A and B are shown apart, each in its own frame.
Chain A
């Protein structure tokens, strides 16, 4: 079995409301000099092989209209 870590994040140029909310909270907590916060998600899984992972990302794990994904295999 291989272990895959799949990183999914909002496409560049799309307003990421979650990232914006996190960024908005930073000054109140004393964090300065931080900008362009974007929030995505990570999916970890075990698979017999890597062949179907791209298809899996395209069809389910990511929505290619609004999200980019990267597959890392270890």
Chain B
């Protein structure tokens, strides 16, 4: 089901794209200027949430619900990445 014939939903989808893009640039700013390493890890968490939001908005735009699989995979991978980063940093501190 595409967006033709639904003007309000079309506006909502484009507003959502614009808002998520602005959020991505804000996260990029903090990723580049973050004072410490945990700042950057936290921002990677935010960016993953934003990418999940972009995928969901794209599903609303095209009607292809297959892309929900991508959202599931990203939600899992981010958790694994966080745990791995925390373990690695903890080991580096203890040395």
Q: Do A and B come from one complex?
A: no
- B residues lining the A interface (CB < 8 Å): none
Residues of A within 8 A of B (CB): none
